[in-house]
Structure 1
């Protein structure tokens, strides 16, 4: 089994805090998820999470217009520059202060950040510049505000930008020092100015304050009463010139108010369509048309504040984020429909379970919800909310169509995943909080255990009746597990024993397996021959089920990477906290074991050799307890506590940030960071049925680790000069594969088609087999588009390409069919349509062939009649009759013979002239003495369509 697992995706968390950013084409949405960034492809219906991590939660992200550079900044001002295309970290930088806003200029040469009372403009790193030690070069620092800057907005030509501040003013700055006279202050608001915008012509500026006031500014002259003086001086042209040069400035030309019960939280403006989108603290958002200030729509996404709003370049899709409940919405305002509507778990995730085919993952949480996630797309497919308390465990039936869940509300529920409904509810004779669950491989029996009693309850799935209660344990039941091959049930208890039960046997008396320490969890090998348990002393012990003997023991205390909490006065190395595993799981082949617990590490072990294969760090987010290693003495106060533990929410300038409605010391039911500090932990872990991935339910979300097949090396993706001329030269040298890949890298359709059609038929199979995997989907998509555009040209040539590609890369396409859905659908659609046309042509030609066959039979019958007439004439003259023509008519006869041959060998059969001559008994012979009429009639019968 492969052990080169890497982080591939983060599910269960769609938005945490910060701003949302659309890509330039408007099809991708970037969302901060804690200390990582997730990218949602809204067209292809898939998502991925960047593998890099920040030290704190991300506060702002920005993507340049070219879509190549992604810049993300955390709460402390530490920035990471990433190549968005290759997902590679390029540089780390520290701005040394919290960043309230981050915006790239439209031309991509600069980016501006809002730090405290200043605006810093930096040059965007460019590969054309000389290599230098620091790729971040500061262009200039702009000052003038007396309070914290809240936002920065660039003009469309990248020459100017507007900054808004909590000092109730906005300021206009110029990027170039030669235009420093442009700088001006826009005042007049009575509350914090949260956003300012340029219109499409840059002649109007809109400023918006927190109290719901929207001011419209225009560059006009100062109004005065000089009309009479102007009329008196009309005769003097020089005086008229001086009057035209009166001083101009930005002045308020219109004032509008939202008149909402709540204050404004966020806003965005689409200049080309004059669309203004405003989000409020009460969860309401509105759409206005400017400059007339017409209300278009007014909707609500819940009772929590809309923290951020973004709009794509086309102005069709709006993205909203709410950090209180982790909601993410993409709304199409013209059709009034949701493109994307996702929400993560309100509380920590307790359990997870893979579907038997590995395409879905089910998670259960303390908020009483069960969510079904699609592994490929990363989106939530369905949410069940019938449970009234924390859901503790989830299990699939063998076929994957039924899901079972246990909860602290005292019920076991069965879910139909075809109709997405709850069809069974199992309860005990008394109210019991169930904490563990197991399902028989046949799907006929479900069992559950509890920490309230020492019994194991057994129900029938068909009748929902309680069949039996297994007794024998002398302590609370901690975990249950069924094998996949037979109905062997293993149970573990706090009484330091393991028991193996045969559910369908007559006798339920079993001998316990004694364990030296408390059993925290257990898992059974898929073939039901071994089981592994994790104990409180940090060991993983493997037992043989039939002989009840110990096979292997793994000491996990040395491998666990623990962390210190903020209140700890010692480093993580000296901490004895959580040096054990609370969840373990076998791989599909039973050779590998993966384990996690209330710590910051996931360990993968080789069972036969009892060695650690690999250790994964769950998170580097320092806002969580248990991630730090060393003690920072600089943050220790005189009282001996960390300064990070001091509550400074009361010092916030905004009233909304100072309010705290949470319960003191509450750990569940309220995600407020003021009441508690989350602890890093892994509550559940499981291998995928294919063993190519495993999932871990952690504090950060649902982490997916998979074998690294996503990044495939492209030998042509190197730093070389690739131009259309070089591509054509390579094609002329008959290096077809290199030329094809170079054309795909240039992404010019005419060049791709030219190279594609120049490849000979004999080389198609060789080029297809050597084509890199990264270009297979692009080539199939190109052929599909080509067939759609040019319907009947090179039809067989394209089919040969498709057959060669599928023959060479069929296994990879079948394994990752989700990546080839769009291209294969194009080809399938075209082939289906052309297939119907071929059937129609075949039917029409079938009737025509029947006509030709009948014509041949009629002709043969006429020839037989002529032969009978000739025989009768010969009998009449009592001798042999030879028909001859005069010598003068030889040329004419030969010409007629040639015409007759052409007529008879044509598509429409023998001509009427030929039939007439045959009826007169004239038979023309060729040089071989063969009958042309018979030969031609045979040719007609052999026509193939």
Structure 2
């Protein structure tokens, strides 16, 4: 094996090794999920060298320089003043919003049956994706590539679009009820859709053909997520269960049973070892992917858990609830670290900044809030919307936020 070059990954922090073996170019990643500005670079280099033979003594200084660059990136992330631009995005309420990987463009879906593509910097509309015959509910870029867009609609179809021209490549037909969630696999070769017809389906991006129908749930499939490798998909259903599927064979690997209410969201952690689930039974559960066993139940909320997520490093879990509070848990000890209080209505959406240092919440009280992920202090109240905020998202750099509201507008916060 011969090391050719290093590539840097900022979020979550890591170093990609590009090397040659048997005449073929290959890559492997060194995940630095625990890296902080206080980490001693020399100690970390020594630790890496013990487990990675490609990092020889002559390469040690290069690795140290990369680690220092990652730490400088962490330090440079500063809270910005909440300047904003308001876009009168649609003539009817928005349903969802999504960034591309670079953060230069974002999508809005709406009850007006369209999905629109926007330039983040200028706030100008780039494309209006028209053709659905009902609400456009689920939307996504094929990140990290960003050259395709998928839209899922209450008209029971999913459409695949060219992000550059707005041309429709394919219309995926087969679901018998509304499509309410969708996602691309990491390789951008498949789209997975979840529907009120109690199934999930896999579609080939290139040909537009259906690859598999994932059956077994007995109620609506409201959430789904590929792992970071792309070989497994997890689905959450209103039947109170979660299923892990092998993508290649479309076979169900595990059924995760334990919740006593509808599942609101499901997500893999970065290294694909754990799944977190939120439920209307007021709890979250953490599951071991290999065994399918529940390893922890996160309690404390007094009403339904409406959203749940890992930070990008997989070290923290955040939950949002109809009780108007959010919580942050340690993903190793499952201890509740923070209770985020301040909203006057239910919190429907929660997410971490890419750096994991901030938590963003969206609420029916017409505000979004930005919180410090270590202290739990509310840093900013993003206010001005005149109706419920149902969606919020960070860009990849973590310095721009978009909020989507039932007031038919979205706001770009800088």
**Which TM-score band applies after superposition, normalised by the shorter structure?**
0.5 to 0.7
**What residue number does 1:697 align with?**
404
**What residue number does 1:508 align with?**
251
Partners of 1:350 and 1:466 in 2: how far apart?
26
1:605 positional shift? 5.3
Match of 2:336 among 606, 610, 623: 610
**What residue number does 1:753 align with?**
none
Bigger relative contact order, structure 1 or 2 (CA pairs below 8 A, ≥6 apart): 2
8 Å CA contact 1:587, 1:691 repeated in 2: no
1:503 positional shift? 1.0
**Structure 1 residues 580-633: Cα deviation after superposition (integer angstroms, max 9, x where no partner):** 3433343332334455566766666554443226556489xxxxx9649xxxxx
8 Å CA contact 1:8, 1:704 repeated in 2: no
**Structure 1 residues 414-467: Cα deviation after superposition (integer angstroms, max 9, x where no partner):** 111122222211111x6432111122111112121211x222222211111122
8 Å CA contact 1:584, 1:595 repeated in 2: yes
Partners of 1:584 and 1:514 in 2: how far apart?
18
Residue 249 of structure 2 is aligned to residue 518 of structure 1: no
**What residue number does 1:588 align with?**
312
1:705 positional shift? 6.3
**What residue number does 1:383 align with?**
128
1:541 positional shift? 2.3
Aligned residues: 299
8 Å CA contact 2:281, 2:305 repeated in 1: no
Match of 2:150 among 395, 399, 404: 404
Partners of 1:383 and 1:5 in 2: how far apart?
33
Distance 1:503 1:582, change over 3 A: same
Distance 1:687 1:344, change over 3 A: closer
Any gaps of 5 or more consecutive residues in structure 1?
Answer: 15-342, 559-578, 620-624, 629-677, 707-945
CA RMSD of aligned residues (A): 3.3
1:535 positional shift? 0.6
**What residue number does 2:96 align with?**
351
Partners of 1:459 and 1:419 in 2: how far apart?
22
1:374 positional shift? 3.1
8 Å CA contact 1:586, 1:687 repeated in 2: no
Partners of 2:193 and 2:387 in 1: how far apart?
28
Residue 165 of structure 2 is aligned to residue 441 of structure 1: no
Partners of 1:475 and 1:482 in 2: how far apart?
20
**Structure 1 residues 820-877: Cα deviation after superposition (integer angstroms, max 9, x where no partner):** xxxxxxxxxxxxxxxxxxxxxxxxxxxxxxxxxxxxxxxxxxxxxxxxxxxxxxxxxx
Match of 2:205 among 444, 461, 466: 461
**Structure 1 residues 44-67: Cα deviation after superposition (integer angstroms, max 9, x where no partner):** xxxxxxxxxxxxxxxxxxxxxxxx
Residue 287 of structure 2 is aligned to residue 539 of structure 1: no
**Structure 1 residues 259-288: Cα deviation after superposition (integer angstroms, max 9, x where no partner):** xxxxxxxxxxxxxxxxxxxxxxxxxxxxxx
Distance 1:602 1:358, change over 3 A: farther
Partners of 1:602 and 1:371 in 2: how far apart?
30
**Structure 1 residues 767-793: Cα deviation after superposition (integer angstroms, max 9, x where no partner):** xxxxxxxxxxxxxxxxxxxxxxxxxxx
Distance 1:550 1:695, change over 3 A: farther
**What residue number does 2:395 align with?**
688
**What residue number does 2:171 align with?**
425
TM-score normalized by the length of structure 2: 0.62
Distance 1:464 1:703, change over 3 A: same
**What residue number does 2:82 align with?**
8
1:469 positional shift? 0.9
1:694 positional shift? 5.0
1:493 positional shift? 1.1
Q: Secondary structure at the match of 2:182?
A: strand
Distance 1:499 1:626, change over 3 A: closer
8 Å CA contact 2:327, 2:336 repeated in 1: no
8 Å CA contact 1:7, 1:704 repeated in 2: no
Partners of 1:377 and 1:614 in 2: how far apart?
33
Distance 1:583 1:556, change over 3 A: same
Larger Rg: 1 or 2? 1
Partners of 2:317 and 2:124 in 1: how far apart?
28
1:679 positional shift? 5.9
Match of 2:160 among 399, 410, 414: 414
Q: Secondary structure at the match of 2:266?
A: strand
1:406 positional shift? 0.3
Residue 271 of structure 2 is aligned to residue 527 of structure 1: yes
1:511 positional shift? 2.5
Distance 1:386 1:444, change over 3 A: same
Partners of 1:6 and 1:604 in 2: how far apart?
23
Partners of 1:411 and 1:681 in 2: how far apart?
26
8 Å CA contact 1:391, 1:407 repeated in 2: yes
8 Å CA contact 1:583, 1:685 repeated in 2: no
**What residue number does 2:219 align with?**
475
**What residue number does 1:738 align with?**
none
Partners of 1:694 and 1:378 in 2: how far apart?
13
1:375 positional shift? 3.2
**What residue number does 1:548 align with?**
292
Q: Secondary structure at the match of 2:253?
A: coil
8 Å CA contact 1:352, 1:697 repeated in 2: yes
Distance 1:415 1:527, change over 3 A: farther
Distance 1:543 1:431, change over 3 A: closer
1:498 positional shift? 0.8
8 Å CA contact 1:598, 1:681 repeated in 2: no
Distance 1:359 1:395, change over 3 A: same
Match of 1:491 among 224, 235, 239: 235
Any gaps of 5 or more consecutive residues in structure 2?
Answer: 1-35, 37-73, 346-362, 367-385
1:696 positional shift? 4.2
Distance 1:463 1:529, change over 3 A: same
Greater strand share, structure number: 2
**Structure 1 residues 300-348: Cα deviation after superposition (integer angstroms, max 9, x where no partner):** xxxxxxxxxxxxxxxxxxxxxxxxxxxxxxxxxxxxxxxxxxx322232
8 Å CA contact 1:353, 1:396 repeated in 2: yes
Distance 1:697 1:626, change over 3 A: closer
Partners of 1:605 and 1:7 in 2: how far apart?
28
1:540 positional shift? 2.6
**Structure 1 residues 908-936: Cα deviation after superposition (integer angstroms, max 9, x where no partner):** xxxxxxxxxxxxxxxxxxxxxxxxxxxxx
1:703 positional shift? 5.2
Partners of 1:421 and 1:689 in 2: how far apart?
26
Distance 1:581 1:696, change over 3 A: farther
Residue 116 of structure 2 is aligned to residue 371 of structure 1: yes
**What residue number does 1:29 align with?**
none
1:510 positional shift? 2.5
